Structure formats: structure tokens, C-alpha cells
Amino acid sequence: MKSINDIVKKVDIVNIVSSFATLNKSGTSFKTTCNVHLDSSPSLFVNPKKQIYKCFVCDHGGDALDYLMWSQKFDWNQAIEFLLKASGEEVDNYRHFFHNKREYSELEKKLLKASSDASDLFNYFLNIFIEEDNDILEFIKKRKLTKEQINQFKLGYAPSLEEKNYIEQLEKKSNEKSVLINASLLNENGTRPFFNKRLVFPIFDEENNVVAFSGRKVLENIEAPKYINSKESLIFKKSSIIYNYNNAKKYEDLIIVEGFMDVISFSKIGFNNVVALMGTSLSSEIIKKLKNHKEILIFLDNDQAGIKATLSIVKEFLKNGINAFILENKYSKDADQIINEENGQQKILNILSSKIKMVDYIIWCFFKDVSKNDYENIKKSIIELSYFVKTNDQFIKLEIIDKLSQKLEIDKKLITSYFDLNLVKFKQIENEVNVVNDSLSKKRFDNSLNTVKLLISIWKNPSFIGLLNIDDIYWPEAKYKKIYKDIKNYFESKQNLSKETIIFLENNQKKFSSKESLAQNKASFNELVLRTKEESNQRKLLDINNLMKKTSNDIQRKELLKTKLDLLSKRKDKK
């Protein structure tokens, strides 16, 4: 058994409920009185086929685990233990599903009580104000929130001071002012309610305690942040809480969405394994929990912010070895909007069927604007990506290098060396590159034959001047560059040739007496330029090698190494 949900599926909800209440047959279902509300006529129904219960007065339902926790007020451990025993399992084999019981301090208990009281009150206000207040009613309608969702997520309404003073009511329930401030129910001066005319989402910890709230403004035209969240407190640490994890944790697979509204909309179409993160930094405790799930799907908004957040999560997940996929959202709308439009459910099913591996996603992100031959950007992006991945997992690294090599058609070894540029393994790569250089220097091309050939060809055919970009050549000696400029000026500006150039031309023209050895046309000239460039690169490499031997400054050496790798790759490009 891999998940709590497997245990839940193993029991029969009819047996579970009948341990506490007398069930009477009603059509294909069973019915009994609900013990949460004052029930005179049976309004809690149990459906053996779907394995769910529902109280039609409380508008609350769920599976056997939900029943134990909601109706019988079991805590998580008690409920799991009950289910394990009911299905004949050895409880000790499933200890990893149990929560470590936390001991709360006096102040923490007070904060929990204040939050719980506030949540009850907000929920009560929402149910009342929905009948009378046009603003909140309007908002609920527009967002297509049903009573079932309001109850399932215990949504609430924090009225404005003019409408109702919720602080007064909380104080009546013996919550101290200092505690209310600490729990972000009252502002820091203690003068105004923290939440003011907002739809309130209570945030539960895993034990189903309300530990914080998020308030969505009801009036769009009011100058205020769209959402405000409780400040962190002894009971609320953003990095340790995942919204709706209290409900979703029992599932093998999880879907991570961007906002609370997305989580709620997903539940409308039957997905209860959907959660929202409270930020992109995740505590080690949360990481450990997420690792227990077989598969995690990341489904954030398809905008700049959403892509950025996805990348941050992917970074955390890769670092911590969490298995996840990215869902490709082609609709440029958030999940909530998609679900609420026509054929929303079908669209979501389509999205769920096209998942992308995290590695493919980051490659897409880093290389979406880089074309195959844009060498500068390829190099830059590989280095950026390597900074990003920072994983110790060699398999992931190798997979990325493999895929990049295929995508960009570049040698794996080169990608690896760029990949490692930012790592401390600097020395090691340096040695590797030196091996390449050694074989190179063995060729020992002291001759400047191609350069000379190039210059004579230009002298014989001045139209070649326009084909040459002088910066492309790393001249073997400064005098060749001078000669080139001299010849260029002679033809373009009718300047006289220098004595040195005249001697050079006289000495070398004879070497190329046969016509074939000089460039005859555009194509053969271009080929000659390529060969000269190749020679210049080799020369440049040797020069860099010598420089590197001389300098001990690490930053300078790193720069030199980068240039070196660059040159090496240009050589490879040509092959």
C-alpha cells in the first residue's frame, strides 16, 4: 500500500459509519441522522457504490476518513488507526503515515483558539451576508462558488467595520487583544480589523487546525492589494504550510496549482488532490512529505510570473530529488478560469494528459530563444542553466547534457565543460582542455603559408577585399596586418605601397607561380579565408596557453579558459 488513499479504499464506508450510527436503507443508499447539526430527520446519506457520505443540511461530504474526522472529530492519527484496524492491517507497519504529535505552548494554544474562533465566525458571516450583502453575493456568483465549496473549504467573509465588528465578537469569546494582533486578526496598533471586507480563505495545517488566513478583496475598484495574508507567527510558517494539503495528503499523486481559487475550482470537477504553495521556498519538513508522493504535477499560470515560479519549484525539486512533471497550459488562462468556462473539465483533462519532464522544461526555458548556430548565446545559456541546476544528481546532469547535445548538435564533451565552468572543478577541466591543446601544438604550424597566400590572392584580385572581415583573422605577426591594410589602401584610396609591402609582394609572388595555388574565385577565396581562420585560432590557442601558464590570477585564468573553449568549439563547428 503506497498511500493513505489505498487504506481508505480498502474499507467499506458503510461499515465505518455503522460503527457510530444506525443506518437505514434508502433506495440504493443508506441514511442516518447527522451528529454535526441538530438533526431530527435523517439527512446524512451513505452511498455504498461511490463509497461516500453526505449530509444535505451541513452540505458536507467525503470518504470514510473524512467521516471519521468531520463527524466523529477524530484526529488524523486516530482516524488512520481506526481505518487500519477496520481493514485488518497491522498498525505498526504504517507508522510512517502517522503525524508526530506536537506539544503546543500556552501562547500557541491561544493563537490556535483565536484562529479557530475567527474561522467559525467568518464562515458564519459569509453564510449570512450572502443573503443580504450585494457585494459579497455578487463576488461569489461571479466566481461561480457554490455552497458546497464554501463549506468544504470553510470559506468566510470578513465584514467591514461598518457592517460588523468581528473583533468585538472574538473578544467576547475570551480572546485577548494581544493574541488577536499576533494572529493577524487585528492590525498592529490594535485599532482596526486586519481583514476588512474580504473573502477569507482559512489556511489549515496538517492536523486540520486553522493557522492563518488569506483575504481576497471583494470590491475590485478599491485601492488595495488583491490578496493579503496573515503574518507569520508561532503557528504559521509560510514555508511549512501547503494550502489544502490537509485534504490532499492522502493521495498518491498531487497537483500543485498557483492559487486558492484554482484549488477550489479543481474540487468542483472532482479533483481533491490539488494544493497551492504559499511561496517558492519550501521547508525540509515539507520536502520530506512531498517525497512520499508517487508523482507531482506542477500546473501554474502560463505567464511570466507563473514560469518564474515554476522554475523556482523545479529548482527545489531537482535539488531534493522530488519526482515531478510540468503540465503544459496552452490556454494562457489560470486553472480557475479554464475550469469555469465551457468544456472546462475536458480542457483540464487535456492539460493533464500532456505532462513534461522537469529536465525538458528547463531546457525549453533556457533555450527557447536560442537558435542552433548562435554560439555566443548557446554558451551563455549552458552556463546559466548549470548555475540553475546545481544538482548533485549525476543522472540529471547527464540527461541534460545528452539532450542539449542532440538539440544543439554540439559535442557532449564541450557542453560538459561549459556545464562545469561554474563549479569548483575548474582545475580538472583545465587539464582536460590541455590534453586537446597538446595534440594541437604537436602540429606546430610555424608557417604562415595560408596568410601569405591570402594576401597575394588579394593583390592579384582586389575584388576579394570586400569579402574579408579583417577582425576575423588573428594575424600570425603584426606585419601581415600592416601589409593587408597597405594593399587595401592602395586599391581603395590610391595610397602608395610601403617599402615593406613591396618587398613582401616581390618575394612571395614567385612562390605562387602556378595559378591554381591562389584563390581564383569567390568560392576558393572564401575557402582560403576559412583555412586562415583555422590557423589563426590555433595560434590564438597556443598564445592563450602560454598566457595561462604565466598568470596565477584565478579570474584571469577563468576568462582565458572561456576564450579557449570558445575557440575549440569554433573548430568543432566546422567539422
Nearer to Zn ion by C-beta: 54 or 250?
54
Window of 47-55, 79-87, 253-261, 399-407 that interacts with Zn ion by CB under 5 A: 47-55
Residue 15 CB, nearest distance to Zn ion (Å)? 21
**Which among 382, 368, 441 has a CA at the least distance from the CA of 410?**
382
Q: How far is the CB of 80 from Zn ion (least distance, A)?
A: 24
Q: Is 57 in the site for Zn ion (CB under 5 A)?
A: yes
Kindly state the greatest CA–CA separation across the chain.
Answer: 118
**Of residues 4 and 34, the one with the C-beta less far from Zn ion:** 34
Please say which residue, 58 or 505, places its beta carbon nearer to Zn ion.
58
For 100, the grid coordinates are 508526530
Say what angle helices 375-389 and 554-574 make with each other, to 10 degrees: 130
Burial class (CB in 10 A: 0-12, 13-18, 19+), 494: exposed
- Tell the smallest beta-carbon distance from residue 66 to Zn ion (Å): 13
Strand 227-229 to strand 355-357: parallel, antiparallel, or no bridges (unpaired)?
A: unpaired
Q: Which range binds Zn ion by CB under 5 A, 57-65, 185-193, 413-421, 472-480?
A: 57-65
Binding residues with Zn ion: total (CB under 5 A): 6
Stretch that binds Zn ion, among 51-59, 118-126, 307-315, 406-414 (CB under 5 A): 51-59
Is 37 or 372 the residue whose CB approaches Zn ion more closely?
A: 37
Q: Which helix (H) or strand (E) holds 324?
A: strand 324-327
Q: How far apart are CA 83 and CA 18, in angstroms?
A: 13
Nearer to Zn ion, 37 or 308 (CB): 37
- For Zn ion, the closer of residues 32 and 448 by Cβ is 32
Choose one: 52-60, 429-437, 484-492, 511-519; the region binding Zn ion (CB under 5 A). 52-60
Instruction: Give the residue with the Cβ less far from Zn ion, 34 or 454.
Output: 34
Q: Which is nearer to Zn ion, 26 or 551 (CB)?
A: 26
37 contributes a contact to Zn ion by CB under 5 A: yes
Nearer to Zn ion, 70 or 459 (CB): 70
Task: Pick the piece of the chain touching Zn ion (CB under 5 A) from 53-61, 89-97, 198-206, 241-249.
Answer: 53-61
CA–CA dist 207, 224 (Å, integer)? 32
Q: Between 13 and 324, whose beta carbon lies closer to Zn ion? A: 13
* Residue 72 found at the interface with Zn ion (CB under 5 A): no
- Tell me the β-bridge partners of 497: none
Q: Does 297 bind Zn ion (CB under 5 A)?
A: no
Check binding of 58 to Zn ion (CB under 5 A). Answer: yes
Helix (H, G, I), strand (E, B) or coil at 562: helix
User: Is residue 55 at the binding interface for Zn ion, with CB under 5 A as the rule?
Assistant: yes
Which range of residues in 54-62, 276-284, 326-334, 554-562 is near Zn ion by CB under 5 A? Answer: 54-62
In the complex, minimum distance from the CB of residue 52 to Zn ion, in angstroms, rounded to a whole number: 15
Does 404 interact with Zn ion (rule: CB under 5 A)?
Answer: no
294 binds Zn ion (CB under 5 A): no
Measured CA to CA in angstroms, residue 345 lies from 175, 273, 309, 329 at distances of 44, 16, 25, 14
For residue 442, which of 542, 537, 570, 560 has the smallest C-alpha distance? 542
| The residue type at 268 | K
Neighbours of 395 (CB within 10 A): 9
Shortest distance, position 60 Cβ to Zn ion, whole Å? 7
CB of 390 to Zn ion, least distance (A): 52
Burial degree of 121 (CB within 10 A; 0-12, 13-18, 19+)? buried
Element (H, E) at 532: helix 522-550
> In angstroms, what is the minimal distance from the CB of 55 to Zn ion?
3
**Could you tell me the smallest distance in angstroms from the CB atom of residue 148 to Zn ion?**
13
**Residue linked to cell 481493514:** 87
Q: What is the dihedral of CA 331, 332, 334, 339, to 10 degrees?
A: -20
Q: Which parts of 508-537 interact with Zn ion (CB under 5 A)?
A: none
Shortest Cβ 115–Zn ion spacing (Å): 23
> CA 209, CA 48: separation in Å to the nearest integer?
30
Please, which residue, 14 or 58, has the CB nearer to Zn ion?
58
Q: Which three cell numbers stand for residue 430?
A: 583545465
Single-letter residue type at 189: N
The contacts of residue 575 (CB under 8 Å, 6+ apart) are: none
Query: Distances from the Cα of 439 to the Cαs of 409, 410, 435, 449, 541, in angstroms?
Result: 24, 21, 7, 21, 12
| Interface with Zn ion in residues 7-36 (CB under 5 A) | 34, 36
Q: Are 472 and 533 in contact (CB under 8 A)?
A: yes
* CB of 37 vs Zn ion, minimal distance in Å: 4
Stretch of 50-58, 178-186, 189-197, 380-388 lying at the interface with Zn ion (CB under 5 A): 50-58
Q: Which residues bind Zn ion (CB under 5 A)?
A: 34, 36-37, 55, 57-58
